[in-house]
Amino acid sequence: MSMNLPQPASDTPDRALFATPATEHAVTRPPAVRVEQATRSFTVGSQQVHALKGIDLLIPAGSFVALMGRSGSGKTTLLNMIGALDRPTNGEVYINEHPLSNLSENQLTELRRREFGFVFQSFALLPILSAAENVELPLRIAGDVGARERKERVTESLALVGLSRWADHRPYEMSGGQQQRVAIARGLVTRPRLLIGDEPTGELDSKTSVTIMELLRRIVDEAGVTLIMATHDPTVDQFADVVYRLQDGQIIDQSKRVAC
């Protein structure tokens, strides 16, 4: 069904386009992700490195969760396991209450394509493609969405992040913040339930970082997407529902956002 999407007058995201408003507070919802006693070990030379040590985690659907910690704390390893990019050595990860250990590599690939959107620190945009073409790429790779629907979804996703007027621009014609918003639109174009962010503000200045955090918070609140990000950005405390702090492969602390 075609959508008549308004063109934003500026780079401000269009709030009216979030199709599934969040009607309950995130903490009252069933879990989107559950991690039980997860460990992850790697062999480096003759040494065994224990990146994660018995992690337990519960992430409600429609929440914004941040993983913080110094390099080597285990936050990226944990994010990769939640995003079905890696498997725990022991323990279990559940997505929508389905254990990932039962899935083959092909099934994990299908799960990621169907359930997850990914946003990276480096934007990972192809310079020869326009913003619209970069956003469309996951749909073309999946190959199960027709041309008309692809165009509708791309238009919708760019409007969500306030970049309708930049659809034909190449990444080098855009600021860092605009490029990251294109990357977020690309992560949302498949209409995922979970959005995984790996240092999504890591290459941005402080003012632009806040703008991106505000956008991500709005996406969670109005689209009902579950957002899980690894970050060093201290401003995340203002936006995430829960911040977990990791050290030496363990969760050592958590803090919750105080509702205004």
Q: Using one digit for the tens of pLDDT, what is the confidence trace for 203-247?
A: 899 999 999 999 999 999 988 899 999 999 999 999 999 999 999
Domain boundaries, the chain: 16-256
- Exposure on the CB side of residue 194, measured as CA atoms within 13 A: 25
Which helix (H) or strand (E) segment holds residue 120: the answer is strand 116-120
Q: Is the pLDDT of residue 1 over 70?
A: no
Q: From CA 67, how far away is CA 156, in angstroms rounded?
A: 29
Alpha carbon distance 195, 187 (integer Å) = 7
What is the pLDDT, as a whole number, of residue 188?
93
Pairwise pLDDT comparison (27 vs 38), residue with the higher score: 38
Q: How confident is the model at residue 121 (pLDDT cuts 50, 70, 90)?
A: confident
Backbone angles phi, psi at 171, to 5 degrees: -55, -40
Q: Answer yes or no: CATH 3.50.50.60 is held by domain 16-256.
A: no
Using 50, 70 and 90 to split pLDDT, how confident is the model at 143? Answer: confident
The average confidence (pLDDT) of the chain is 87
pLDDT of residue 203: 86
